[in-house]
Amino acid sequence: MKKTCAFATVILLFLLAFVVSPVHAQEPQPGNTISGDQVIIGNNFTLEKNETLEGSLLIIGGTASTAADSKINGDLVLIGGTLTIDGAVEGDIVSIGGVVNLQDSAMVNGSLTMVGATLSRSPTAQISGSFSEETPRFLNFDFLRDNGLKPPLHLKTNPLNRILTATFQALVMAILAVLVGLLLPRNLKNTAIALVREPVVTGGVGLLAMVVAPIILILLSITIILIPVTLLAAIAFALAVVFGNIVIGYEIGNRLSAVFKDTWHPSIAAGIGTLLLSLVTGFAGVIPCVGWVLGFLASIIGLGAVVISRFGSTKYATKVISAVIQPAEEDLPTEPPVAPEE
């Protein structure tokens, strides 16, 4: 039950990033009180001595620290960042894929949950509640010893394991998006332009590619000679789907940077946006029957943008979109010539 409540806190605080106005770390004076929940994305937050945060704190890919004699009257969630605590935390702490440092004066009056995270704890640091470490099932190889070589697909998964798996997949996608933003910023931008200009067209092309590609792969695999070609085509198709999701994440990151009235490097925008997109689609996937729809829609729209822009390497997307949404001049009906009046 405590684990479920902890992860409910993660989701609720994650939603605060969109419900409340995201803010950067404030610069309070000693003895001040910061009111309201704080959302720190790719930034730093510091709580100085004798300062109090009246609310919860969510850090995504950032760094947060609290000094001795400081206090957080709320929950604290860390996703892929670094957290250093030397004061008091009245609520729970949940760290997903991050690093938590509990200093000498740290006092956690709630529970501490580590999900694939690293903990450095001073011998004098106090944790009043429970302490637990969780590992996603796909990273836990005990099933190889328990069940021989039985594939993990045969394992019965519960919602908690699925949430953990989705979270780590989101972190992996975010890291991959950062690398793409560093290596292929121009291709990322060109593909995003095609996506934003005509999302309906890109969605239609993506849906067509999603239906046709498996058929082509099956036909290619019929003969032994074309099996290597099939493998290469399957890899290219998978890369296109992944790149398409990163493109959507990049566009989300750009919109988010506009909220902050800042301009982020393509790697930062792609990483943060892809992390948020992957978390939302991953958590939605836990919902039975209809949870896959959101991720599928994102995949086909991103895939369509990749296809019509040729991975953003050319301006072919402009020609395709123009051909679809604008009829050619020769196809337009022409009026018969009018004889000049005498």
What is the H or E stretch that residue 178 is in? helix 159-183
- Strand, coil or helix: 316: helix
Q: Which residue has the higher pLDDT, 138 or 90?
A: 90
Give the pLDDT score at 86. 93
End-to-end CA distance of the chain: 94
Given a contact cutoff of 8 angstroms between Cβ atoms, the answer to whether 54 and 69 are in contact is no
DSSP state letter for 106: -
Give residue 293's pLDDT: 84
Average pLDDT over residues 19-35: 54
* pLDDT-based confidence at residue 66 (cuts at 50, 70, 90): very high
Q: CA nearest 61: which of 85, 92, 83?
A: 83
Structure tokens at 197: 């200009």
Cβ 55 vs Cβ 90: under 8 Å: no
- Sheet of strand 33-35, all strands in order from the earlier edge strand to the far edge: 33-35, 52-54, 71-72, 88-89, 107-108, 126-127
C-alpha pair distances (Å), 325 with each of 200, 298, 322: 10, 22, 5
Nearest-angstrom CA–CA distance, 51 and 26: 12
DSSP state of 28: P
Concatenating the DSSP letter of every residue in 213-262 gives HHHHHHHHTTSSTTHHHHHHHHHHHHHHHHHHHHHHHHHHHHHHHHHTT-
Tell me the average pLDDT of the chain.
76
Helix (H) or strand (E) holding 115: strand 112-115
> pLDDT, tens digit, for every residue of 187-246?
888 888 888 887 888 888 888 888 888 888 777 777 656 667 778 888 888 888 899 999
Gap between the Cα atoms of 201 and 325, Å rounded: 8
State how far the Cα of 127 lies from the Cα of 130, in Å rounded to an integer: 7
Asked if the model's pLDDT at residue 13 lies above 50, the reply is no
Looking up tokens 């798996």 gives 165
Q: Does residue 262 have a pLDDT over 50?
A: yes
Instruction: Give pLDDT, residue 158.
Output: 58
- pLDDT above 50 for 5: no
With a threshold of 0.95, does the pTM exceed it?
A: no
Structure tokens at 201: 């067209």
Spatial strand order of the sheet with 76-79 comes to 38-41, 57-60, 76-79, 93-96, 112-115, 131-134
